[in-house]
Amino acid sequence: MKTIEKKVLATYKLQSMLWVILFFFCSQSFAESFDLDVGSVNLNGMAPPKMEILYPSEATKVGTQVTVQITIPEKWHVNANIPADPFLKPSTLDIQARGIEFGEAIWPEPIKEYSEALDFENLVFKGTFEVKIPVKAIAADYDTSTTNVEFGYQACSQICLAPQTVHAALELKLESKFEESSKKNSHDSLALLLGLAFLGGLILNLMPCVLPVLFLKLFSLVRNAGETRARLWKLTVSLVLGILTSFWVLAGIVSLIKAGSGNAGWGFQFQNPGFVAFMVVLLSAFAMNLFGFFEIFLPGSALTKMDAATRKEGLAGAFLSGVLMVLLSTPCSAPFLGTAMGFAFTQSAAILFVFFTVAALGLAFPYILVAIFPKVLKVFPKPGTWMAKFQKVLGIFLLGTAIWLVWVGFQMTGAEGAAIIATFGLCAMLLSVIFGKFARPNKPFIREPIFLLAVTGFLFSAWFLGGKPAVQSVIEAKSRAAAEKTLGEDGWYNYSEANWKALAQEGRPIFIDVTADWCLTCKTNEAVVLSREDVKKVLSDANAILVRADYTLESAEVTNLLRNLGKSGVPAYAVYNPKSQKWNVLSEILTLEDIEDALK
C-alpha cells in the first residue's frame, strides 16, 4: 500500500513538473512566434523592473540597513523569494560593494495570487516593494559608491516568462541638506524661508558687489540730511520703488524663462555679454556724473526754485539709485538668500514674485529705517566742501567697477568682445562730457550737431563691432571646455555631470566651488580664502578632489547643480562625502573653519 502511495506521489510530482516545463515552452515559443496581447498585457515580455538603491542618511556602519526598492510593471508580478511551488523560480537578490559585507536579505511579506496558468495560488511580489539588506561587516576603506545589485526574478501575468536577471548600480545623487530637510517638512516652512529672503536681502547691502552703490546712497542721505521729514520720506519711497520695480522685472523675466522650459538662476542676466556691456555704459555715465562732467537738469521752472550749487537729489535720482543698487547686487548671492531663492526658483510665478518682493524690502530696509529715524544721520559729518571730494571718490569706485566688468567681458567673449564692451564704455564717457559741455537748461539739446555726431558715432561703433563671429566662437569654445574632464594647472577639475560622476567613483571627498567671473564675492573668496596655503593644506590632507563649476556663461548643468544644492546663485560651496553620498553645503562667506568641519 505504501509502495502504491509513493508511486502516486512521484507520478503527481512528475506530472506537475512536466506541466510547468510545457507551459514555459509553449508560452515563450508561442509569444515569440506571434505578437499577442491578452487583456492589454503584451505576451512578448515584461519591461525590466526598476530598481533604486537607498542608503540611510547617517554614516554607514554595522547594523545599517540598505534598502533596494523594486518596481514591477503594472499587470505583472514576480515569484516571491519562497514561492508556493518549489518548481517555480524564486526571486533572488545579491548586493556587493567594496569594503562592505552584507547579511541575508530581508524580504517583505508576499502577496497571495491565484495563477490561472498553473491553476494554484502562488506567493508573489507586485507593484513597488522594498528589500532590506543589513550591513554585516565594514572595512576602513569601504566605498558605497561601488554598490551593485543583481536581481533574479520570474515574471508572470496570463503567462509566465523565462527567468531573468537585471543589474543596478548606485545612482549617485547631488542631494543636499536643503533637500533632506525639505523631505522631512522641517525646513520648507514658507514663513521661515521668507524670513531668510528678507535677511538675505538685508545682507546684500554689505556684499562687495553693492558696496559702490552703498557708499553712493550714504552720500545721498548725508546730502539730504537737512531736508524735512516729508522730503526724506519721498526720497525713500522713490528709492524703494526703484528697488521693488527692478526685482519685479527680474522676477517676471525668470517666470517667462521658466514658462519656456528654460533655466535661470540668481544673477542670470550677467551671463549675457550684452547686459555686461549695458552695465559698463551705465556705470561709466554715472561715474562721469559724479566727477562733475554733467548734470541732469530739471525741466521748466523747477530749476529756478533751487540754487544750482545746492541742488538736492531728485525723486528720479533716488529711483535710479534703487535700480542701480539692484543691478549691482544681483550678480552675487548672500548668506540665507541663496537658500530662500533656491526654494523660490522651483515654485510657481506667484510665490517667486513674493520672495523677490521680500528680498527687495530687505535690501531697502536700512534706508526705510533712516526715513523713520532721521536722527541717525547726525553721526555723519555735516554737508560741506568735503562732499565734492567724496563724490569724486565714489566716481572712482563706479569707474573701477566698470573696468572690472570689461575684464568680465574679456573672460566671457575674448579680446574682441572686450574691445567692443570697452568701446561702449568710452563712448558713454565721451557723450557724458559732450552733454555737460553743451547742455543748458530749457535748451533742446538734441538739436546740437556735435551731440548728433557723437550719437551717430556711438551707434556706428555698436553696429560695426557688435555680432562678430569671433566673439561667438570664444563663447562656444568656453562652453565646450567646461564639459572636458581636464585638470587645470591650479589643480581644479572643470565641472560637468559626466565628470562629476566619474570623479565620485574615486571614493575621495569632493570640494566644489560654483563661481562666476562676474561675481565679486566669488573672486573675493578665491583671493582671500581659497588661495591661502593653510586652506590648500587642509584640502590636500583630506585628499579632496577640487572641482570648479563655472557659471559665467549660461549652463543648464550648473543651474541643476545649484538647484540640487538648494541654491539659486553664486557663490556656492559644498563638500561631498563619498561614504554617505551626501553634500555638506557651506555658507557664501567662506571660512577655513567651515571647510575643516565639512571635511570631517
Question: What pLDDT digit, counting tens, does each position of 101-147 carry?
Answer: 899 999 999 998 877 766 778 899 999 999 999 988 888 767 777 78
Domains of the chain: which residue ranges? 13-171, 483-599
Q: Where are the alpha helices (DSSP H) in 439-553?
A: 449-465, 469-482, 497-504, 520-525, 533-541
CA distance 24 to 31: 10
Average pLDDT over residues 484-489: 59
DSSP secondary structure string for all residues of 41-60: EETT--PPPEEEEE--SSPP
Average pLDDT over residues 342-370: 88
Q: Which of 310, 327, 320, 324 is nearest to 238 (CA)?
A: 320
Average pLDDT over residues 468-487: 58
* Beta-carbon count within 10 A of 459 CB: 11
Residue 94 phi, psi (nearest 5): -125, 125
Report which listed range, 69-78, 211-220, 425-434, 576-585, is most confident.
69-78
> Which helix H or strand E contains 549, and what residues bound it?
strand 545-550
- pTM (predicted TM-score): 0.60
Orientation angle between helical segments 469-482 and 386-438, nearest 10 degrees: 140
All three cell numbers of 231: 522730503
Residue 520 phi, psi (nearest 5): -70, -35
Average pLDDT over residues 553-557: 82
- pLDDT reported for residue 285: 84
Four-way CATH pick for 13-171: 3.30.360.10, 2.40.128.720, 2.60.40.1250, 3.40.190.10: 2.60.40.1250
Report yes or no: 567 and 200 within 8 Å, Cβ to Cβ: no
Q: Which residue has the higher pLDDT, 521 or 379?
A: 521
pLDDT at 387 over 90: no
Question: Average pLDDT, whole number, for the chain?
Answer: 76
CA atoms within 13 A on the CB side of 198: 11
Average pLDDT over residues 214-238: 74
pLDDT at 484 over 80: no
CA distance 406 to 199: 31
pLDDT band at 181 (very low <50, low <70, confident <90, very high): very low
CA distance 326 to 261: 26
Lowest mean pLDDT among 186-190, 276-280, 562-566: 186-190
* Beta-carbon count within 10 A of 400 CB: 13
Secondary structure letter of residue 484 according to DSSP? S
All three cell numbers of 424: 561702449
Quick check: helix, strand or coil at residue 485?
coil
- pLDDT reported for residue 186: 39
- pLDDT reported for residue 303: 35
Q: Which of 420, 428, 476, 155 is nearest to 286 (CA)?
A: 428
- pLDDT reported for residue 84: 77
One-letter amino acid for residue 297 of the chain: F
Average pLDDT over residues 58-76: 84
- pLDDT reported for residue 459: 58
CATH topology of domain 483-599: Glutaredoxin (3.40.30)
Report yes or no: 599 and 538 within 8 Å, Cβ to Cβ: yes
Question: What pLDDT digit, counting tens, does each position of 391-421 carry?
Answer: 888 888 889 889 988 998 888 888 878 888 8
Average pLDDT over residues 255-259: 79
Average pLDDT over residues 18-26: 43
